[in-house]
Structure 1
Amino acid sequence: MPSAPPSPTTENTQLTPQPVSLWRHPGLLAFLWARTASSFSACVQAVAVGWQIYALTHSTTALALVGLAQFLPMVGLLLPAGHAADHFNRRLIVVICQCVEAVSALLMAIGALGGWTTPWMIYAMVIIFGAARAFEMPSQQTFLPALVPAHMFPRAAAVSSSLFQAAAVTGPSVGGLLYGAGAGVCYLVCAVGFAAACISTLCIPLVFTPRPRVPLSRAAIIEVAQFMRGRPDMLGAISLDLFAVLLGGATAMLPVYASDILHAGPMGLGLLRAAPAIGAVICSIILVWRPLNRRSGPRMFMAVAIFGVATIIFAVSRSMAVSILALAVLGAADVVSVVIRGALVQLRTPDSMRGRVSAVNMLFLGSSNQLGEFESGMLASLIGPVGSVALGGVGTLLVTAAWIRMFPALWHLDRLDDITAD
């Protein structure tokens, strides 16, 4: 279908505006399905990787190396990926990455079903997966603000988060069940899921408007750094989440808790991995109907503090029920921070820089997940898993208190529905 000539403010990838409701907006359902299928597959894969590497090695250091293997390509590739997202077809980038993820999962399935999987094969697959995600995420993060107008973004982001977390609920549980039939079955399901996400991404009606291509340079990186330095509320939100995730790396120790502390087995690991998402889904549903449009800054700080307290409770718990509840509260608190940070990053950034700013955001937060797993695993090898997780929760509380003083602009942030690019 031919499109109208782009206006001077045409985005790199945007949908032709139409006055429709959130639930009937063209392309939104395709975007939500693609993101959900990809997230579901990643969660199933995380269960398979964590349990398989621990079964092969019985080593917390091996779990730490899994996080490091995914962290390193993110550090090296996210900034080039953000630059590519600002100058190339974002949808095509996402499609290629999802194809790579599907093929790597299929190869792991063949290896597992053949019985010749080694720890080094798992590390290699995780590295490839991390590299693909490094390019996929900055481009995918730009889709939602291109699909819906700014006043609909907080509610649309909550819907997206609720479906993302629903996948995170079912993914670990299904992964735990499927692992009973073998890791190869888990990887096979992941390959199908990533392929489905690829097909759905192709169905999103986004229009690519080429821009003059400039090489990645130091000046381009400095431009993004100066842009973020001039917006302390955005910088504070991103860095607060970075340290909260980095220090509160309880999820890295879930295989150890399921196996050696709670004695819950693979099914228990699936339940523990699903617990944060259960809390997140409940919180996301609430945010769909009651968006965060007042006192957003104080609510974000309160949510991160709750995240730290829940981490400490999980660390010292010996009850499966208490552990699941603590992780659910942790997941609910995290959603509040995700929605506020997403609104600041996506709506306050001009489309010409959205890929690079999204890349910085993912570098801070996506890589901090893997680096947090590495930190928790190495610290656990020194002081034990309980001490490692508890110390992370205490550190999160200390960072929250420090950030309130360091970023008063974030503390005074009020409404999200009137944020505009500047």
Structure 2
Amino acid sequence: MVQHSPNDTFASLRIAEFRYFVMNSFLITVTLLIQEVILGYELYKITHDPLMLGLVGLAEAIPFIILSLFGGHLADRRDKKRILQWSLLVIILGSVILYFVFQPSVVAKLSTTARLATIYGVLMLIGTAKGFYSPASSSLKPFLVPRELYANSATWYSSFWQAGAIVGPGLAGFFYNWFGFDNTLIVIIVLFVFCFLLLSLIKRKPVPVSNEPMLGLRESLKEGFRFVFKTQIVLYAISLDLFSVLFGGVVAILPVFAEDILHVGAEGLGFLRAAPSVGALLTMAFMTRFPPTQNAWRNMLLAVLGFGVATIVFAFSTNFYLSLIMLALTGAFDSVSVVIRQTILQIFPPDHMRGRVAAVNGIFVSSSNEIGAFESGLLARLLGTVPSVALGGVVTLVVVTYVYARSKELFAVRLN
């Protein structure tokens, strides 16, 4: 048995299968974000309506929420690797459909309404695939590293994800300007194929066996919810991320800031999209040496508080560079809470329940990105872009104050 020291900064990366896993995470994040950025910009050029950008998130969130719990149930009982591969094939299919929808010969035959309906239909297909991919991915990760490396692996996983979130939007702006929309979609399809090959390098893992009697689907899903709601630190960690992302997220309406407020165009949008991840990646690099899991709950509350403040300053900024700095700070603060939450979700759930707990987390946190995108677009239309973002930051501060008052006993929890 190989011994791994948790004090070794690169301990998790010395495990080959974990390397393949985080490389896939990096590449699929890059690819999905390239597609999301160019599609959002193209939609805004077609409609000039921020609500249409919000509907992008809603189209993915609806099937994700409906199917994620079943996806978690499936991940606890089936081969996680196979679920990931089949889900990725569906995502590739969606990208192929998008490519054909934007071909000039098809555009000439379809009305704008029909074209938009097809685009949102494809986004729902991708959301369906994510409903299975997300819990399978989250529940596979703890089986790739020993328990003593959970905090280290969470930091590295988040670092690769954030690196992808930097590279993706930057490449999106470059590809869009230099290669055009449809040629960029060809690059996206090729990158997804590479993701599939990386997943193929990971060996199949045995399905965990529980001594408890096999439950039906409904009872199985209820068991996952019960675990989350009775485990206070898991519930509050998920809730903090849910409300901060739901109300404080600004990513979906960044095309409005880029086009109408900061006047920086597609390339500027790429920088704005990448800024949170630049801040996050720098913070992640620091956390590989100094993990935030000591005094974890204090650090999580301070991080969400900082996220809300930076969001409010960004809302009122009309300077491109100040806006970049504030977005970088939102990423930095968010990365701290992400590492702590991921460590909590690796330590507390039992092996046979990881898929369902990951699915509950996905519904309350991952889907909050998409629902938050819809909320951002809707409020931007009703209140205006700047007031809607400022209000989201204020709501984040109110939520973190409430959670602080309700969770003081969690300050004693140590995750090391």
Normalising by the residue count of structure 2, what TM-score does the alignment of the two structures yield? 0.92
**1:35 and 2:25 aligned:** yes
**1:416 and 2:415 aligned:** yes
**1:226 and 2:216 aligned:** no
Relative distance call for 1:357 and 1:210 in structure 2 (3 A) is closer
Q: Is the 8 A contact 1:26 1:205 kept in 2?
A: no
Deviation at 1:143, TM superposition (A): 2.3
Map Cα deviations across residues 83-129 of structure 1 (whole Å, 9 max, x no partner): 00011111100011111112211221233244635222221111111
Map Cα deviations across residues 313-352 of structure 1 (whole Å, 9 max, x no partner): 1110001000000000000100111111111112211110
Q: Corresponding residue for 2:350? A: 350
Q: Is the 8 A contact 1:237 1:410 kept in 2?
A: no
* Count of equivalent residues: 400
One of 63, 73, 84 as aligned partner of 2:63: 73
Q: Corresponding residue for 2:257? A: 257
Q: Is the 8 A contact 1:109 1:186 kept in 2?
A: no
Q: Which amino acid aligns with 2:3?
A: P
Map Cα deviations across residues 145-192 of structure 1 (whole Å, 9 max, x no partner): 111112211112111111111111110010011112322122222211
| Inter-partner Cα distance in structure 2 for 1:341 and 1:24 | 23
| Inter-partner Cα distance in structure 2 for 1:125 and 1:303 | 35
Q: Which amino acid aligns with 2:415?
A: L
Relative distance call for 1:232 and 1:187 in structure 2 (3 A) is same
Alignment of 1:12-31 (within 5 A): 18-19=2-3, 21-31=11-21
Q: Is the 8 A contact 2:70 2:221 kept in 1?
A: no
Which has more helix, going by share of residues?
2
| Inter-partner Cα distance in structure 1 for 2:215 and 2:52 | 38
Map Cα deviations across residues 286-321 of structure 1 (whole Å, 9 max, x no partner): 111111231110000000000001111111000100
Relative distance call for 1:407 and 1:116 in structure 2 (3 A) is farther
Map Cα deviations across residues 65-90 of structure 1 (whole Å, 9 max, x no partner): 11110110111101110000011111
Q: Is the 8 A contact 1:312 1:389 kept in 2?
A: yes
**1:187 and 2:188 aligned:** no
| Inter-partner Cα distance in structure 2 for 1:139 and 1:73 | 16
One of 85, 105, 110 as aligned partner of 2:75: 85
Q: Which amino acid aligns with 2:340?
A: I
Q: Which amino acid aligns with 2:171?
A: V
| Residues 109-118 or 309-318, more deviating | 109-118
Deviation at 1:34, TM superposition (A): 1.1
Deviation at 1:211, TM superposition (A): 5.4
One of 117, 120, 123 as aligned partner of 2:120: 123
Q: Which amino acid aligns with 2:186?
A: L
Question: Which consecutive residues of structure 1, in runs of 5 or more, have no partner in the other structure?
Answer: 1-16, 418-422
Relative distance call for 1:131 and 1:264 in structure 2 (3 A) is same
Q: Corresponding residue for 2:133? A: 136
Q: Which amino acid aligns with 1:271?
A: F
Q: Corresponding residue for 1:157? A: 154
**1:59 and 2:49 aligned:** yes
Q: Is the 8 A contact 1:88 1:210 kept in 2?
A: no
| Inter-partner Cα distance in structure 1 for 2:183 and 2:315 | 31
Q: Corresponding residue for 1:146? A: 143
Normalising by the residue count of structure 1, what TM-score does the alignment of the two structures yield? 0.91
Q: Corresponding residue for 1:13? A: none
| Inter-partner Cα distance in structure 2 for 1:215 and 1:53 | 45
| Inter-partner Cα distance in structure 1 for 2:92 and 2:217 | 32
Relative distance call for 1:114 and 1:144 in structure 2 (3 A) is same
| Residues 238-247 or 219-228, more deviating | 219-228
Deviation at 1:405, TM superposition (A): 1.3
SS of residue matched to 1:293: coil
**1:100 and 2:90 aligned:** yes
SS of residue matched to 2:106: coil
Q: Corresponding residue for 2:203? A: 205
| Inter-partner Cα distance in structure 2 for 1:339 and 1:279 | 14
Relative distance call for 1:411 and 1:190 in structure 2 (3 A) is farther
Q: Which amino acid aligns with 1:152?
A: L
Question: Which consecutive residues of structure 2, in runs of 5 or more, have no partner in the other structure?
Answer: 5-10, 108-114
| Inter-partner Cα distance in structure 2 for 1:285 and 1:185 | 34
Q: Corresponding residue for 2:111? A: none
| Inter-partner Cα distance in structure 1 for 2:64 and 2:216 | 17
Q: Is the 8 A contact 2:225 2:360 kept in 1?
A: no
Relative distance call for 1:215 and 1:226 in structure 2 (3 A) is closer
Q: Is the 8 A contact 1:56 1:119 kept in 2?
A: no
Q: Corresponding residue for 1:178? A: 175
Q: Is the 8 A contact 1:50 1:63 kept in 2?
A: yes
Q: Is the 8 A contact 1:404 1:411 kept in 2?
A: no
Q: Corresponding residue for 1:368? A: 368
Q: Which amino acid aligns with 2:133?
A: E
Deviation at 1:249, TM superposition (A): 2.1
Map Cα deviations across residues 212-240 of structure 1 (whole Å, 9 max, x no partner): 99575332222122212221011000011
Q: Percent of aligned pairs with the same residue?
A: 37
| Inter-partner Cα distance in structure 2 for 1:77 and 1:217 | 12
